[in-house]
Amino acid sequence: MSSRAFGRAFGALAVVLAAGCGKGDPAPEPKAEPKGGDRGALVYAQYCAGCHGPEGKGDGTIVLAQPARSFAARPWRTGPEPTPELIRKVTLEGISAVGMAGFRNLSAPDLDAVVAHVQKLATTGAPTARVQTEGAKALAAAGFAELAGPAPPLLLVDARGTETRLSQLSGKLVLLHFWGTGCAHCQKEIPALDALEKAHAGRLRVLHVCTDEPDAKAAQQVLDKSAPGALAHVEANDLGLARYQVQSLPTVWLVGPDGGAIGKSGGAKDWTAEPQAQLLARWLPPAK
C-alpha cells in the first residue's frame, strides 16, 4: 500500500472513531499492515479492529457501553447467521443502539473486502465461539434469532370482541405471527401455520396479529378474502407492538409454555419444512 493510501485510510479512521464513540477516545495506533496484501484484513484492521478486536473476538481496545462480542458467537445480534448480505447491511448502516456508526463512505471494493473478511472471522477457526446449544441450533436452522427473558405483555382482540391475553396462554407454545393488510406473503403463509396449530391442537396456539389495521373487523375482512377460516387479531391497547420490535413483515415470535421468549424471525417461511417442524417440536409442551 502506498503511504498516501495509508494516510487516507488513517484519516478516515479518525473520523469514524470520532463518529462511532463520540467521547474523544484516543484513536489507537494503526496496526502493522497485514501480510499478503489482503485488502479485507487491512480495511478491517483500520476501521473495525478497534472495537471488534484484531481477530473479531470482541476484545478491541475501545469498549462501548455495549461491548462488541466475538463474531464467532451465535446467534448473531443482528440475525441468526452471518451472511454476506447481513454483514454488508450492518457495516453500511451501523447499529446506533450500541454506538457502531455506519460505514457508508467505504469504497465499493473496500466494502466487499471487509465484508468477506468479517465473514471469514465469523465462520473459521473460532476458538472463542460459544458452544451452540441444541435449542440455538434448531432456531438457527429455522431462520430464527434466539431470544431470552419473558415475552412482552400483549392484549389482543378479534372481530367478535373476544380478548386474548398472552399471559392466559401459559402452558401452550405460542406462535405470534405479525402480518400486515398489504403484505401478501404474510397472508400466504397463514394456511400452513393454521394447519400446524390444528396438528398440535391444545399444545400450540397461533395468533395472527395485524400490525397496520387497528380495527379487528377490517383486519378480519382482509383475511376472509386471502385466508378464509383464519382469525385476525389486533392489539387491544396499543401498548405491546413496539415492544415486539416488528421491523419487517411477517415477523414471528415463538413464546414458550412458560411465557419466555424463545426466538424471533423476519420474513416469510415455508412452514411445512422440516426445520420449522423440528423447531416447534422442541418447545411444544408434552401431549396430554
Interface with ligand HEC by CB under 6 A: which residues?
20-21, 47-48, 50-52, 62, 64, 66, 68-69, 76-78, 87, 90-91, 95, 98-100, 103, 114, 118
Nearest approach, Cβ of 233 to ligand HEC (angstroms)? 31
- Between 13 and 236, name the residue whose CB sits nearer to ligand HEC: 13
Distances (CA, A) of 199 to 229, 233, 245, 273: 16, 21, 29, 14
Nearest approach, Cβ of 69 to ligand HEC (angstroms)? 3
Nearest approach, Cβ of 72 to ligand HEC (angstroms)? 10
Distances (CA, A) of 215 to 164, 190, 220, 245, 246: 15, 19, 9, 21, 19
- Between 21 and 232, name the residue whose CB sits nearer to ligand HEC: 21
- Between 16 and 159, name the residue whose CB sits nearer to ligand HEC: 16
Nearest approach, Cβ of 91 to ligand HEC (angstroms)? 4
Write the CB contacts of 152 (distance below 8 Å, at least 6 apart in sequence).
Answer: 240, 243, 244
Nearest approach, Cβ of 138 to ligand HEC (angstroms)? 19
- Between 119 and 220, name the residue whose CB sits nearer to ligand HEC: 119
Q: Which residue reads 468477506 in cell numbers?
A: 116
- Between 123 and 237, name the residue whose CB sits nearer to ligand HEC: 123
Measured at the alpha carbon of residue 191, what is the angle toward residues 185 and 197, in degrees to the nearest 5?
A: 125
- Between 58 and 191, name the residue whose CB sits nearer to ligand HEC: 58
CB 91 within 8 A of CB 111: yes
CB 178 within 8 A of CB 244: yes
Distance CA 21, CA 98 (A): 10
Nearest approach, Cβ of 162 to ligand HEC (angstroms)? 39
